[in-house]
C-alpha cells in the first residue's frame, strides 16, 4: 500500500509536459492527425521540453490556404507600416531575451552565452531588416526615347515556405521570416523538429506584435511536413537551411515546379595560420571556431591549416587548451561545450572519429570519445576532438562532420594553404591569421568562399553583411544584409511614356 501511495505521489510531483500548437490563420491548433512528438533536451533526455503537433500534408494545406488568404492585404499594406509591426516584434524579442535563451539552451543544448547570441542575432536581424520598410530601394534610369520614364521597383514574390534547421533555432528563422515579411510576402514556417520551441516563441512574438492573422503560419513536424510544403502548388518560394543532401532534393523538386529556391547548406571551413601569426590569438580563435556550438555550425572551423614552422607549437598549445574545455549541460554557466543535438548526430560524429583513425590514419591528438561521466551519460556529449597530421584529401578533411572535431593540416607556402582551403566541395567561410598585410590581402583575393575573416575564426557573421557560400554550400543566394531582399522580392521594370504618341524602342530613330 505504502509503495503504491509513494508511486502515486511521485507521479503527481512530476510536472505535466507542456503542449504547444501549430499557428494557422491566427489560431493555435493541433495537428489534424491528433499526433504529437516530444521536444527532448539533448543534455538530459529525461527532460521533455514540450509536446508538439506532428503535422501532415493536411496541416500544411491549411497553413498555405491561410497564408494565401492573407496575401493581398499584407502586400498592399505600405512597407513602412509592415516595418512598424516588425519594430514591435524586435522589442518583444528583446524584452523576452532571457526566457528565450534559457528555453533555447534547454531544447538545443548550446551554452547559455551562445543561445543569448542566437536570440540577439534575431533581434539585430529584426531591427536591421525592419529598417528596409522605409528603403526597399529600387532605381530610376534614363529611357532611350524622349518623354519616357524608366524605373525599377521590388515586388513581393508571393507565398514563402521557410524550412529551418536546429543549430540556430531563432536566428535562422528570423533571417528568413523578417525579410520575407518586410518585402510583403506571407509565410509558412516548418521549423527544425529538434528545436520547435524557439521558432514558436518567435511566431508568438509576431502575434503579440500585431502582425495580422494568416501572414505568419507555423507547422511543426518532420520531413514529410517539409516535403508537403515544398510540393505545394501555391507556394512560390522555398528558403531552406540544412544539409546538402536534403537541399539537393528540394532544389530538384522546385526546379520541376518552377519555384524560386534559396538554399543554405554545408561547409568545410578552414583557418590558415601563417608563421607570422600571433599564435595565442590563433589558438583562441581555433577553439572558438571549432568547438563553439559543439561544432554544429555551417561556419565551424573544422580545418586548421597551419604553417610547418609553427605547426608543432600550435598543435601543442591547442591540445593543452582543448583538455581544459568544460563539457556539460549548457544551462550550467560554467559549461563551455554543450551536447550535440541527438543520438544519431553523436553516432555520426563518432563514426567520423573512427574514419579519421582507421581509414585516414590521421593522429588523434585529443578527445575522440563520447563524454559520459556522471550526469553526462543522460545526454549526447562528444569530447572536443583534434586530429593532427591530416593531409588534403582525407575524408575527415573533405566531409562535413558537424560536431566538435577539427583537423590540423600542415603546409609550407601560402599558395599551398589556399589550395587546401579551396580544395573541398563547399565554400562558406574561411579565415587567415597573419600580421602581414600582403598575406592578408592575397588570401582575401584567392579564398573562394562567401565569407572570409582576417585574424578571427570562421564564425561570427553579422546580420548587416551578406551570409552564404560558394559551390555546394548554396545556390548563389545570400541571406542577411540588403542582399537577402533579392531572395524575397522580384524586380518589376516600369516604363512610363508621356510623349502622347506611339514610340518604338529599338526601332524608332531618335532625332538629336
The residues that touch ligand UN1, with contacts defined as CB under 6 A, are: 121, 167-168, 297-299, 459-461
Cell for 183?
Answer: 518585402
> Between residues 123 and 159, which has the closer beta carbon with respect to ligand UN1?
123
> Between residues 382 and 461, which has the closer beta carbon with respect to ligand UN1?
461
Least CB distance to ligand UN1 at residue 288 (A):
10
Count of positions (residues) in the chain: 512
Distance CA 43, CA 381 (A): 8
Nearest to 44 by CA among 332, 351, 350: 332
Least CB distance to ligand UN1 at residue 289 (A):
9
Cell for 57?
Answer: 500534408
> Between residues 215 and 282, which has the closer beta carbon with respect to ligand UN1?
282
Nearest to 166 by CA among 112, 110, 123, 211: 110
Query: Scanning the structure block, which residue is given the C-alpha cell 528558403?
Result: 239
Terminal Cα-to-Cα distance of the chain (whole angstroms): 106
Task: Tell me the catalytic residues.
Answer: 264, 298
Evaluate the CA torsion angle 235, 236, 242, 244 in order and state its sign.
Answer: positive
Distances (CA, A) of 460 to 113, 163, 300, 475: 13, 22, 10, 22
Residue pair 167/297 in contact (Cβ under 8 Å)? The answer is yes
Q: Which of the 8 DSSP states describes residue 327?
A: B
> Between residues 168 and 381, which has the closer beta carbon with respect to ligand UN1?
168
Q: Give the gyration radius of the chain's Cα atoms.
A: 25
Distance CA 405, CA 410 (A): 17
> Between residues 235 and 337, which has the closer beta carbon with respect to ligand UN1?
337
Amino acid at each position: 500500500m505504502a509503495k503504491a501511495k509513494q508511486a502515486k505521489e511521485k507521479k503527481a510531483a512530476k510536472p505535466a509536459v507542456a503542449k504547444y500548437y501549430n499557428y494557422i490563420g491566427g489560431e493555435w491548433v493541433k495537428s489534424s492527425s491528433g499526433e504529437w512528438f516530444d521536444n527532448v533536451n539533448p543534455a538530459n533526455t529525461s527532460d521533455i521540453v514540450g509536446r508538439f503537433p506532428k503535422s501532415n500534408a493536411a496541416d500544411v494545406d491549411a497553413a498555405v490556404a491561410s497564408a494565401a488568404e492573407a496575401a493581398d492585404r499584407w502586400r498592399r499594406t505600405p512597407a513602412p507600416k509592415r516595418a512598424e509591426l516588425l519594430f514591435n516584434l524586435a522589442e518583444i524579442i528583446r524584452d523576452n531575451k532571457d526566457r528565450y535563451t534559457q528555453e533555447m539552451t534547454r531544447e538545443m543544448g548550446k551554452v547559455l552565452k551562445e543561445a543569448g547570441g542566437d536570440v540577439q542575432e534575431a533581434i539585430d536581424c529584426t531591427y536591421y531588416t525592419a529598417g528596409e520598410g522605409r528603403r526597399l530601394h529600387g532605381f530610376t534610369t534614363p529611357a532611350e526615347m524622349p518623354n519616357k520614364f524608366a524605373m525599377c521597383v521590388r515586388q513581393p514574390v508571393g507565398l514563402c515556405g521557410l524550412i529551418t534547421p536546429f543549430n540556430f533555432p531563432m536566428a535562422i528563422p528570423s533571417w528568413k521570416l523578417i525579410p520575407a515579411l518586410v518585402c510583403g510576402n506571407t509565410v509558412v514556417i516548418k521549423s527544425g523538429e529538434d528545436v520547435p520551441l524557439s521558432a514558436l516563441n518567435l511566431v508568438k512574438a509576431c502575434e503579440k506584435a500585431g502582425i495580422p492573422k494568416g501572414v505568419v503560419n507555423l507547422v511543426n513536424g518532420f520531413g514529410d511536413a517539409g516535403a508537403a510544403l515544398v510540393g505545394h502548388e501555391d507556394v512560390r518560394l522555398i528558403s531552406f537551411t540544412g544539409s546538402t543532401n536534403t537541399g539537393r532534393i528540394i532544389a530538384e523538386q522546385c526546379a520541376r515546379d518552377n519555384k524560386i529556391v534559396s538554399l543554405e547548406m554545408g561547409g568545410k571551413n578552414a583557418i590558415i595560420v601563417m608563421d607570422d601569426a600571433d599564435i595565442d590569438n590563433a589558438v583562441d580563435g581555433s577553439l572558438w571556431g571549432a568547438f563553439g556550438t559543439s561544432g554544429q555550425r555551417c561556419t565551424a572551423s573544422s580545418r586548421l591549416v597551419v604553417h610547418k614552422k609553427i605547426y608543432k607549437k600550435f598543435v601543442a598549445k591547442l591540445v593543452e587548451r582543448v583538455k581544459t574545455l568544460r563539457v556539460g549541460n549548457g544551462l550550467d554557466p560554467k559549461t563551455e561545450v554543450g551536447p550535440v543535438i541527438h543520438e544519431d548526430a553523436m553516432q555520426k560524429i563518432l563514426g567520423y572519429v573512427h574514419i579519421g583513425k582507421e581509414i585516414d590514419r590521421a593522429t588523434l591528438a585529443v578527445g575522440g570519445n563520447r563524454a559520459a561521466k556522471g550526469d553526462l551519460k543522460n545526454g549526447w556529449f562528444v569530447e572536443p576532438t583534434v586530429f593532427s597530421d591530416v593531409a588534403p584529401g582525407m575524408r575527415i578533411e573533405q566531409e562535413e562532420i558537424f560536431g566538435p572535431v577539427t583537423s590540423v593540416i600542415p603546409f609550407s607556402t601560402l599558395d599551398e594553404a589556399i589550395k587546401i582551403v579551396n580544395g573541398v566541395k563547399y565554400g562558406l567561410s574561411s579565415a587567415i591569421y597573419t600580421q602581414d598585410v600582403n598575406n592578408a590581402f592575397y588570401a582575401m583575393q584567392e579564398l573562394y568562399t562567401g565569407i572570409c575573416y582576417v585574424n578571427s575564426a570562421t564564425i561570427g557573421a553579422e546580420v548587416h553583411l551578406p551570409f552564404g557560400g560558394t559551390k555546394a554550400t548554396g545556390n548563389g543566394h545570400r541571406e542577411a544584409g540588403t542582399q537577402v531582399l533579392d531572395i524575397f522580392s522580384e524586380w518589376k521594370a516600369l516604363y512610363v511614356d508621356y510623349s502622347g504618341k506611339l514610340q518604338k524602342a529599338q526601332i524608332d530613330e531618335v532625332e538629336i
